[in-house]
Amino acid sequence: MRIAFIAGEFQPLQGGLGDFTRELARACQAAGHEVHVLTRAAPGAPAHESLDGVSVHRLVAGWSWSAWGQVAGFTRQIRPDVLNAQYQAAAYQMRPAINLLPAVLSRRAPVVVTFHDLRVPYLFPKAGPLRWQAILALARGARAVIVTNAEDEDTLRQAGLKRVFRIPIGSNIAPAQIDGFDRGAWLRQHGAPDHALTVGYFGFLNESKGGETLIRALAELRAQGLDVKLVLIGGQTGDSDPTNRRYAGWLMELAGALDVQAHIIATGFLDARNVSAAFAACDCIALPYRDGASWRRGTLMAALAHGSAIVTTIPRVALPELQHETNALLVPPDDPPALAAAIRRALLDAALRRNLQAGSLRVSRLFAWDHIAAETMRVFESAIGRYAAQSNKGRAEQER
């Protein structure tokens, strides 16, 4: 099968959607398919290159209306069996052109849309309900829709969508072998004492991920006399969403006001091996999502894959695989004292911490990329079959 992924961002641009697309494309290629990725141009990156057998085409100048012509030209050249648009509004610079693209391409190839979330694009001031209509236009224009979590599936089904398939995401960071890792040396390298307690946070800083709650919990833990360091693993803002930069700046101001800025280690962007080293340096990982833990969160999947002792927030929709005190400690969102108390337990109770780490590894095996790719291919095959049947029916009617 010849598959073309459309991704609003892709390496070297930083972003979860691009990382997801990379891993899924690799898994599809490993399964024997021809895989292409169409994405935005990036400074210093070639327009065309092969990465692990995946053909990457950085041809889109920006995701304005002019992108239609660039995507259509790419489709004519590649002639894919299926187009899979990976959607998250921020990855497309909050612009709505991508939302009407399935309708534009409907005569060229079947389009499947993968929603990473249902955040609405920007249209114009006071657009209000029209922004949600842009999401529905994208979903209704596709032959099939893939979502990553039960919340989004329920929302789209309630809106009348029928061909909605739920496929979870995997970790965008494959754990690397770090034999002989010296935690004390890592801490000294980052200006912390060997004996420091460390709580890690992975991913970009944005309001939905509970950064303010985490900074306030850090201040509370240090006020209790614990020598705790917060390790911000990886880049903090990404390349697609400017609101991340503003929020990250505000959080550092808050940390200064609470007198904990000196106890924050920000690693900056890291390659996969050094991400794994940073995870290994942390006693626990705190992910205080304001909307609750969800399988759509790549940062959660990465923490599970690394066998971390995880503290996160109670899911809005029950996740049977995520069990309190078995593979995570679950706390209410927007509750710094509760988050601080759970982190304290994970830091000071070695037996609990080992139990959580083992539980993380067990549940992470449910989200392997080869399994995700196989489920995705089944959706693609169904969309291709329905597209071919409709095309044959149209030709037959024309002949009559």
Inter-axis angle of helices 298-305 and 350-364, nearest 10: 110
Q: Which two tokens stand for residue 59?
A: 């041809």
Give the C-alpha separation, 78 to 36, whole Å. 8
- When pLDDT is cut at 50, 70 and 90, the band that residue 241 belongs to is low
Cβ 7 vs Cβ 37: under 8 Å: yes
Name the CA dihedral angle for 393, 395, 398, 400, rounded to a multiple of 10 degrees: -70
Higher pLDDT, 386 or 241: 386
pLDDT tens across 2-36, in order? 999 999 999 999 888 999 999 999 999 999 999 99
Query: What pLDDT score does 140 carry?
Result: 94
Give, rounded to a whole angstrom, the gap between the first and last alpha carbons of the chain.
Answer: 32
Query: What pLDDT score does 239 carry?
Result: 54
Cβ 380 vs Cβ 82: under 8 Å: yes
pLDDT tens across 137-171, in order? 999 999 999 999 888 999 999 999 999 999 989 88
Give the C-alpha separation, 89 to 92, whole Å. 5
Range from 165-169, 170-174, 190-194, 375-379 that averages highest in pLDDT? 375-379
Establish whether the linkage from the previous residue to 315 is cis, with ω within 30° of 0.
no
Would you kindly state where each structural domain of the chain is located, as residue ranges? 2-170+368-399, 183-366
Residue 112 has pLDDT above 60, yes or no: yes
Give the C-alpha separation, 163 to 159, whole Å. 12
- Domain 2-170+368-399, what fold? Rossmann fold (3.40.50)
pLDDT tens across 317-359, in order? 889 999 999 999 999 999 999 999 999 999 999 999 999 999 9
Query: What pLDDT score does 174 carry?
Result: 84
Give the C-alpha separation, 324 to 345, whole Å. 13
**Is residue 351 classed exposed, middle or buried when 0-12, 13-18 and 19+ CB atoms within 10 A define those classes?**
exposed
- When pLDDT is cut at 50, 70 and 90, the band that residue 121 belongs to is confident
183-366: CATH, from 3.40.50.2000, 3.40.50.620, 3.40.1160.10, 3.40.250.10: 3.40.50.2000
Residue 216 phi/psi, 5° resolution?
A: -70, -35
Give yes or no on whether 2-170+368-399 and 183-366 have one common fold.
Answer: yes
Which ranges constitute the DSSP H helices of 272-368?
A: 272-281, 298-305, 336-348, 350-364
Least confident of 33-37, 270-274, 275-279, 303-307: 270-274
Query: What pLDDT score does 14 carry?
Result: 83
Residue 223 has pLDDT above 80, yes or no: yes
Average pLDDT, the chain: 91
Residue 179 has pLDDT above 90, yes or no: no
Query: What pLDDT score does 106 carry?
Result: 77
> Average of pLDDT values for 44-72?
94
Query: What pLDDT score does 317 carry?
Result: 86
Residue 394 has pLDDT above 60, yes or no: no
Range from 102-111, 269-278, 391-400 that averages highest in pLDDT? 269-278
Query: What pLDDT score does 245 carry?
Result: 76
β-strands 48-51, 34-40 pairing:
unpaired
Percent of the chain predicted with pLDDT > 70:
94
